[in-house]
Amino acid sequence: MIFSIIGFLILIYGFKDLKKSFEFYLVYKLILVTNITLISVPGIPLLTVEMFMTLVYIVAFFSRGKKYQFAHMKFPYRIPFAILVICWLISSMLAIAGFKAELSNLIKLISEDILLIWLMWEVLETKEDFKLLYKYITIMIFASCVYGLFEYVIQSNPLTLYEATLIQDKTRSFIGLYTNMDRGYRIKSIFEHSIGAGINWSMYSIFTLWLWINGNVETRKKFPKLAMITAFMCIPCIILTKMRSSLLFFAIFCLSLIDFKKKRFYSLIVLGIVAVIVLMPLFTENISLFMSFFDHNAQVEVGGSSIETRVSQFSAALDVVEISPAFGLGNKFANVLPRSVYVMLYGMESIWLLVIVQYGLVGVIVYLFYAIWSFIYIPIKYKSKPIFFLTLAYWITYTATSVPGLKIHLFYLIVFYFIKISGKYKKSTKEGKIYGVYLQNTKIIYNCIKMDLEKEEY
């Protein structure tokens, strides 16, 4: 109930300031579990708090026309996103469970993973927008770290126990899973799953450290101390999720920090060494988790999925999708097929397992295009090393395992920040165009003067 009340209060604030209300919602989404039910009536699509709020903002922004569309360039993901929607729509219409069964998930995908991301691109434009979001996201992530450490101490998560009572469709939630297994207690704090928690902390931590390294002198003096404290607090929390996928994501995204021309990079190395010394007991306690990346015996000790498991899953996926190889079986195939047919999928712990089964061969082609567009085309277009390593970390991690609890809007918020500070994007703004015209006119004047001087000399 409390989640619905907070959500409605944020929506009501939209009558006063729709843009700021939307920004508050993006912060609120960090704690808002995906499938907290708002309306569950037989015969109509399931409506969650998150879906309802997202749809309200979509309707509000479309009804206001271009009043809140501030972006100076076309949406950079418009082509892959359009193809994704077509793929999802066709798959839903041809799904083995029928279009009616797929409708709720289709609405959720289009609203949360397409339209909401597009709204973020159009609305979040100024430095003040990103500063406000960063400020409140920092507070939220700091609170999540504190709660995560508290969770580890008491070996329980009261918030999770409460959230579990608010979900009608238990099959669509990961709440309560992966907490007490071979590796011991795995924290997830305010997030839906330990994997997503670790990745969310990784995104915030590395992004903050990147800002600290690459900021100018004035920015560094004003850099919030809470942000740096939170960035380093995220590291033990990532380890305490005891998820290899989170560590993998963190390691790949860390590569974006390497810049031998920046003095702050060397300062960060010193801080990193100090952090390793301070956290040495934690590293020692979880040494098998780190060694499992390289040692088979350690991998067996910590448990979890292996290469053999993935091969078995992909083999099972290819067998299952033979029913409809072109467009897949849809999201609700498990409601129709006997469990014995798909039991070897083990939850489809890779985006490609999900795509093969749900969207078929066409889906595989579409998602390959989406992946290439994300970590090759976009970074090259905007000449951004951070975008490359962030998106590469996402696709490698999502290929290796599933990523439940990952806040995709936080991912795109970081990507959009890097795009909008890029030289290419700045040139498209009004100030950039004016500066470009000024340079062009200056060049023309210079050439005219040069020609006149040459004539005089002749």
Name 181's bridge partners. 184
pTM of the model: 0.88
Q: Lowest-confidence range among 23-37, 162-176, 321-335?
A: 162-176
Q: Mind giving me the DSSP string for 26-50? A: HHHTTTS-TT-EEE--TTS--EEHH
- CB of 304 closer than 8 Å to CB of 402: no
User: What pLDDT was estimated at residue 437?
Assistant: 40
Spatial separation of the C-alpha atoms in residues 234 and 198, rounded to whole Å: 8
Could you read off the pLDDT of 328-374 as tens digits, one per residue?
A: 999 988 888 888 888 888 778 899 999 999 999 999 999 999 999 99
Question: For residues 432 and 429, what is the distance between their CA atoms, to the nearest angstrom?
Answer: 5
pLDDT for the residue numbered 38: 65
User: Residue 63: is its pLDDT beyond 80?
Assistant: yes
Q: Is the pLDDT of residue 153 over 90?
A: yes
- What pLDDT does 348 receive? 84
Mean pLDDT of 400-419: 94
Specify the range with the lowest mean pLDDT, choosing from 79-83, 419-423, 434-438. Answer: 434-438
Banded model confidence at residue 456, pLDDT cuts 50, 70, 90: low
pLDDT score of 447 more than 80: no
The pLDDT, as a whole number, for residue 219 is: 62
Angle at 170 (CA atoms; ends 38, 91), nearest 5 degrees? 85
User: Which whole number is the average pLDDT over 182-194?
Assistant: 88
Asked whether the beta carbons of 78 and 373 are under 8 A apart, the reply is: no
CA 238 to chain centre: 16
Q: What is the pLDDT of residue 132?
A: 92
Residue 62 has pLDDT above 60, yes or no: yes
- What is the pLDDT of the chain when averaged over all its residues? 85
